[in-house]
């Protein structure tokens, strides 16, 4: 399978994402500049963390107009896997691929620390390697990570098991402790914590590696069936 890590001006976690994927023993990962519209050659797409376009206007508000997002939209419609991490999550909400918005942390602080996550859904391509209720240790690094959505959207997320992860101790005021959500089809995940920074013991946790391994298993099976 082939992975794409989309790089926007201001991305700073692209190399981390590439390294996490290569830790699986998979070298078929490429960094793709945001001006590239055609992402059809890739089976999984990562929108990494950082400060795309300096977070001007709102985080992700300008990046969502990048040519590469047309390719991301098309890939999502085709059922390919798309994950947005931190700033990538913000881009996905701005692009309408995920509901809700990421607001300024309620404490008005930039939070950079390890947090504990609870797995809420293990039926998605991203979380199939975990157990429901399993606790993960994954770092965060954000100033605008407070997830917000209206009550109807929250009810739909709950009812359709689209909340992938929630915080054990809420670091930013996210409604219902939400740390990551899925789209309706289940092939797009947005999360504020950084699984690519939790793939080795020296990082303090390997809990994020299983997420990328789950993506790889799913994509390879889809390629085989296709």
Among residues 13, 144, 166, 194, which one is catalytic?
Answer: 194
224 carries an active-site annotation: no
131 carries an active-site annotation: no
> CB–CB of 64/77 below 8 Å?
no
- The enclosing H or E element of 201 equals none
Can you list the positions of beta strands (E) in 22-134? 29-33, 44-47, 81-85, 101-103, 111-119
Structure tokens at 146: 């407070």
142 carries an active-site annotation: no
> CB–CB of 99/163 below 8 Å?
no
Question: Mutual orientation of helices 209-225 and 14-22 as an angle, nearest 10°?
Answer: 70
Among residues 94, 144, 166, 196, which one is catalytic?
Answer: 196
Structure tokens at 202: 């020296």
**Residue 160, number of CB atoms within 10 A of its CB:** 12
How far apart, in whole angstroms, are the C-alpha atoms of residue 198 and residue 205?
A: 5
Nearest to 179 by CA among 58, 85, 56, 96: 85
Q: How large is the greatest C-alpha to C-alpha distance in the chain, in angstroms?
A: 48
Among residues 13, 34, 86, 94, which one is catalytic?
Answer: 86
Helices (H) and strands (E) in the chain, counts: 5, 11
Residues annotated as part of the active site:
86, 194, 196
């Amino acid at each position: 399978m082939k992975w794409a890590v989309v790089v926007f001006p201001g991305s700073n976690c692209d190399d981390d994402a590439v390294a996490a994927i290569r830790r699986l023993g998979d070298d078929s990962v490429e960094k793709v500049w945001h001006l590239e519209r055609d992402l059809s050659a890739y089976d999984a797409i990562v929108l990494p963390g950082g400060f795309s376009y300096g977070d001007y206007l709102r985080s992700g508000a300008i990046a969502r107009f990048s040519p590469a997002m047309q390719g991301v939209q098309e890939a999502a419609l085709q059922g390919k896997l798309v994950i947005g991490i931190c700033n990538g999550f913000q881009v996905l909400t701005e692009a309408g691929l995920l509901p809700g918005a990421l607001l300024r942390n309620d404490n008005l602080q930039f939070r950079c620390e390890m947090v504990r996550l609870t797995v809420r859904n293990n039926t998605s391509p991203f979380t199939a390697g975990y157990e429901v209720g399993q606790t993960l240790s994954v770092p965060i690094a954000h100033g605008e990570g407070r997830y917000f959505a209206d009550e109807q959207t929250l009810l739909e997320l709950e009812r359709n098991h689209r909340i992938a992860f929630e915080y054990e101790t809420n670091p930013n005021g996210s409604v219902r402790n939400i740390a990551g959500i899925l789209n309706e089809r289940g092939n797009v995940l947005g999360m504020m914590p950084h699984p690519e920074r939790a793939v080795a013991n020296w990082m303090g946790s390997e809990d994020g590696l299983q997420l990328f391994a789950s993506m790889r298993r799913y994509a390879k099976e889809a390629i085989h069936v296709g």
